[in-house]
Amino acid sequence: MIKKAIAVMTSGGDSPGMNAAARAVVRTAISEGVQVYGIYNGYKGMIDDDIHELTSRSVSDIIQRGGTFLGTARSMEFKTPEGRQKGFQNLQKHNIEGLVIIGGDGSLTGGSLLSKETGVPIVGIPGTIDNDVWGTDYTIGCDTAANTIVDAINKLRDTASAHRRIMIVEVMGHTSGWLAVMSGIAGGAEYVLIPEVKFDIPDMCRELKEAYDNGKRYSIIVVAEGAGSGIEIGKQVEELTKIDTRVSVLGHIQRGGSPSVEDRMKASMLGEKAALAIISGASDVVFGFNEGKVVSINLFDAVNNTKTLNPELIRLARVLA
Ligand code: ATP
């Protein structure tokens, strides 16, 4: 069942590569002869009827940009059935027959409820720097964010080494330590503290002190925000080791920047798949990657399961520290 009009939106936290995904959805649909609407500012825009037709040119000059040209927002109203009904009525007003949602766990949960309650076909693309969507090894933006963190670690390592300091780097990840572990391994961190694994600060400080007594010049400790405040951990570490300690909270810098080649490529591949699927009548699926290949995941499975961090990565981070 080929559709006449579909819509694409981005929702939740922005992530680099969302633009490449939306661009691929728009250009694929147009090349299939299907009209495409952009829903601006996430579910808030769906409720407020901030919905506009897109052309191939609407998505020119965006593949290299971070953020999302469609804008994104958090909408409390969409969490209510009444809010979702309002959004659905606006989709009907524009004769939109299917929707591609690019976003994280929360956005896909919202989409699954919209689909269940109204029957509107939904196809999801996982877009979040946290890489925490179940069923896929990869979410759009995680690679660029990890590269941004590693770049910061490289710089911090230079200055830490010059002053014989301990450097604590707080990174994003409330419930998932994926970014911390990946950037810890790639950045050569001594310790990675994540919400998934218990850690003992006095033990870590004893090891650090011993290493510095034996001539070590610097240490990098990556802390996922969900594991504790970098600033508080820094105070504790300095108190227990008596070694000069500095803390860098990377914050929103991790979300921005021009997307990496990997994020542009994978987002483009997922965008094309999602557009072809929704046009040909699919619903309630999320496209992701598994072992390098595009896979489709049931939308309800994706939102009802919690992705766990690969224990092999946690082990590797420890071995190489
Ligand atoms: P990120 O993980 O990058 O922050 P996300 O998509 O998980 O992205 P959320 O803020 O959790 O970000 O969700 C984005 C929006 O999706 C919310 O503002 C809300 O409108 C909708 N949403 C989230 N959870 C639900 C839910 N349980 N029911 C309905 N809508 C939801």
SS3 8: strand
Q: What is the pLDDT of residue 163?
A: 86
Q: What is the pTM of this model?
A: 0.95
pLDDT surpassing 80 at residue 2:
no
- Residue 319 structure tokens: 């071995």
CA 254–ligand 1 middle distance (angstroms): 19
CA separation for the pair 225, 194 (Å, rounded): 8
- Which residue's alpha carbon is nearest to atom 24 within ligand 1? 106
What is the phi/psi pair of residue 38, to 5°?
-105, 130
Angle at 16 between CA 230 and CA 316, to 5 degrees: 50
- Which residue's alpha carbon is nearest to atom 2 within ligand 1? 104
Radius of gyration of the chain (CA): 22
Q: What is the pLDDT of residue 162?
A: 86
State the DSSP string of 288-304.
EEETTEEEEEEHHHHHH
Name the residue of 109, 129, 174 whose CB sits within 8 Å of the most ligand 1 atoms, as the mutation to test its pocket. Answer: 109
**Cα separations in angstroms, 90 against 48, 73, 155, 188, 192:** 8, 17, 49, 50, 46
CA separation for the pair 101, 108 (Å, rounded): 7
CA separation for the pair 245, 228 (Å, rounded): 16
- pLDDT digits 0-9 by tens, 95-142: 999 999 999 999 999 999 999 999 999 999 999 999 999 999 999 999
CA 103–ligand 1 middle distance (angstroms): 8
Res. 195 pLDDT band, cuts 50 70 90: very high
Nearest-atom index, ligand 1, CA of 108: 6
Q: What is the pLDDT of residue 1?
A: 64
To which residue do tokens 């991790």 refer?
Answer: 254
Q: Whose CA is closest to 46, among 69, 67, 77?
A: 77
State the CB neighbour count (10 A cutoff) for residue 311. Answer: 10
CA 275–ligand 1 middle distance (angstroms): 22
Nearest-atom index, ligand 1, CA of 15: 3
Assess whether 130 carries a catalytic annotation. yes
Name the residue of 78, 88, 102 whose CB sits within 8 Å of the most ligand 1 atoms, as the mutation to test its pocket. Answer: 78
Nearest-atom index, ligand 1, CA of 44: 20
Q: What is the mean pLDDT of residues 47-53?
A: 98
Question: Which percentage of the chain shows pLDDT scores above 70?
Answer: 99
In the set 14, 50, 105, 130, the catalytic residue is 130
> Exposed, middle or buried by CB within 10 Å (0-12, 13-18, 19+), for 242?
exposed
Provide the H-helix boundaries in 32-104. 42-47, 81-93
| Ligand 1 binding residues, C-beta < 6 A | 11-13, 43, 74-75, 78-79, 103-107, 109-110, 113, 128, 130
Q: Whose CA is closest to 8, among 34, 81, 208?
A: 34
Res. 37 pLDDT band, cuts 50 70 90: very high
Q: What is the mean pLDDT of residues 70-99?
A: 97
> Exposed, middle or buried by CB within 10 Å (0-12, 13-18, 19+), for 320?
exposed
End-to-end C-alpha distance for the chain, whole angstroms? 54
Q: Find all residues with CB under 8 Å of 61, minimum gap 6, and list them.
A: none
- Which residue's alpha carbon is nearest to atom 14 within ligand 1? 12
